[in-house]
Copies of this chain bind each other. A is one copy, B any other.
Amino acid sequence: MDARGRVGRNVRKLRMARALSQEELAHQADVHQAYLSGVERGKRNASVLVLDRIAKALGVDIDRLFTRDE
């Protein structure tokens, strides 16, 4: 799994732990739902600022999106 896959898996786990839909998280992070879906599937190569918005919407620091064993 490359770094995108790791980030995507972490985002999905954190989102599900908060019982948020992709649509809800996408809205809170100000990204399109289809884009968020691509991030979660490891298909999108997101930037630092987009990931920081997603992290803030999840209530975590951005470093949590990069942890290896989340």
Contacts and interface: CB of A to CB of B under 8 A. Distances in A.
Contact of A3 (B4, B45, B62, B67): B62
Q: How many copies does the complex hold?
A: 2
B68 A63 contact: yes
A47 B49 contact: no
Contact of A49 (B2, B49, B51): B2
B68 A61 contact: yes
Interface of A: 2-4, 7, 45-49, 51-52, 61-63, 65-68
Given A63-B66, A66-B66, 13 more contacts: A2-B49, A2-B52, A3-B49, A3-B51, A4-B49, A7-B48, A45-B49, A46-B47, A47-B47, A47-B48, A63-B67, A63-B68, A65-B66
